[in-house]
Chains A and B, each alone.
Chain A
Amino acid sequence: MSALAKAAYFWRSAASGLRHAPFVHFIAVTTIAIALFSAGLAQAMGRMVDALIGSLGGEVQVTVYLSPELDEEGAEVLRERMVAASGGRATLVTPRAALARLEKELGDLGEALAHLPENPLPPSLELEVPPERRTPGALKALAQELRAMPGVTGVDYGEEAVERLSAISKALRYGGWVAFAVVLLATVVIVSATLQLAIYARRGEIEIQKLVGATDRFVKAPFLIEGFLQGLLGAGVALLGLLTFERLLGPGLASLFSFLVGSGGMVPLLEPDIALELLAAGCALGLGGSFIAVGRFLRV
């Protein structure tokens, strides 16, 4: 009963703290909301880049050029080995089929190919790599393994394009994390400063609490709850902001970027797991700020 009464007191005291210093808490809630709103947007952007890489990655095809001396039986053996090595699918393209494809691609100019004394194109295997092996590292390792096979004269998988795209994605991700860390730190500092003001405003109350026998934890608990509530409120405002942003600007952005990600490629700004993550981040921010504030300022 006593613990329940104390818990009730902590929450009442925290709520009263929010009511009695609305401006100070407004600043903290707004700061948390802006930080989480930005984080939510950045995360949606990251997911959009991922989707873009995924969609481009779907077109990643590894072409393995085979020695012209290799007969069909030898090519089939190689095909089976490559399927086993890559875990994907492999299609044998004979020199004749390759020439026919080239002729078709060249259109009117394709007729010129008929005058060649012999077919210059080597036989090849077109490998469709499963999604989990489409990363630059995995593709590079696969290419090396394939190159080492007897009868293989070359491997091409658009190495440069894949690596550039991956570098851009990595830069965006790391840049995002660094920016997020800076915003996070600034937010914790601001939340902590606002709570220090709140503690200062209630120093008379704290003095009396100490006189009548309050423990350190008893004095600190309402301020920690205040920080938690600030975080929760800030996260709530950020979620509302993201929802509003999606409603108002989502359709416009989707049409703007449809050339990149396709008509159905826009990722939603808010998914339940992300909303939960943002709520948890808000509470952690508020609690973190209040921990610092009570630790530094409330030496009871």
Chain B
Amino acid sequence: MIQMFHVYKAYPGDPPVLSDINLHVQKGEFVFLTGPSGAGKTTLMKLIFCGEKATKGQILVGGRNIARIRESAVPYLRRNIGVVFQDFKLLPHRTVEDNVAFALDVLGVPRTAARERVQRMLKLVGLQHKAGSLPLKLSGGEQQRVVIARALVNDPTILLADEPTGNLDPALTLEIMDLLMDVNARGTTVMVATHDTSLITRYQKRTLRLERGFIVSDEDGVKAARRMAAG
């Protein structure tokens, strides 16, 4: 589903943010991306949804080489990729329902059909009773669930979550992670960037570790969890 071959990313005048990245994420796989702050986790995710362009190398998403993608084709690629951020990025003056429907407006889905899909998605994330609320009236965990609903409402094949639990307390963190696991169980490829090692130990999923722009380890869930537990 996601393949990278010798990918580099550098900004003029700075050392490379990513160097010689090679990875292969299978369809339906769940992958943790971990490493210290500044290791390049966010940049790697941005490369996948064309938020940034690679300086060198090839990136295939769903079989399509996005290193050479035309600007005009980027929006169509993004419709297949749901993105979740630590800072939510919700529209504060729109209701939960409108925030989720926002992704369907872009696709030109008629309002009635959109409403049905939004309701279904809010039910999935357990927020159907908050459809008419404004985001600021919700807890952090609820806001992040709205973001996940928005990311999933147009049935993307990939879900990228950059520190989705970074602003949440431990209970809400588990709530969101369980939700992401559910999403993965339904067939969506999920990549979660986190520096919270307890999540890796708990969920035991394939883990890629980034340090100073390099992938320093790529381990299956059990091995990664064992290493994390050993400290």
Contact = CB atoms under 8 A, between A and B. Distances in A.
A6 B93 CA distance: 21
A2 B111 CA distance: 10
A207 B93 contact: no
Contacts of B106: 209, 212-214, 218
Contacts of B150: 212
B223 to A, nearest CB: 34
B110 A1 contact: yes
Given A205-B91, A207-B89, A212-B103, A3 B108 contact: yes
B75 A5 contact: no
A211 B110 contact: no
Given A204-B91, A215-B75, A209 B102 contact: yes
Nearest to A218: B106
A208 B107 contact: no
A257 interface: no
Secondary structure class of chain A's binding surface, majority of residues: helix
Contacts of B102: 208-209, 212
Given A213-B75, A213-B76, A215-B72, A208 B110 contact: no
Interface in A9-29: 9, 20
B131 to A, nearest CB: 18
Contacts of B49: 211
B76 to A, nearest CB: 7
User: Size band of the A side of the interface?
Assistant: 20 to 34
B105 interface: yes
Given A3-B108, A6-B108, A218-B106, A212 B93 contact: no
A281 B75 CA distance: 35
Contacts of A211: 49, 78, 83, 89
Given A2-B109, A213-B106, A20 B79 contact: no
B64 to A, nearest CB: 14
Interface in A171-218: 204-205, 207-216, 218
Closest 5 pairs between A and B when the two form their complex, measured CB to CB: A2-B108, A213-B79, A213-B78, A212-B103, A6-B108
Given A213-B76, A213-B154, A216-B72, 13 more contacts: A1-B110, A2-B107, A5-B108, A5-B109, A6-B105, A9-B108, A204-B91, A207-B89, A208-B91, A211-B89, A212-B154, A213-B75, A218-B106
18 contacts: A1-B108, A2-B108, A5-B105, A5-B108, A5-B110, A6-B105, A8-B111, A9-B105, A204-B91, A205-B91, A211-B89, A212-B79, A212-B102, A213-B79, A213-B103, A213-B106, A213-B154, A214-B106
Interface of B: 49, 72, 75-79, 83, 89, 91, 93, 102-103, 105-111, 150, 154
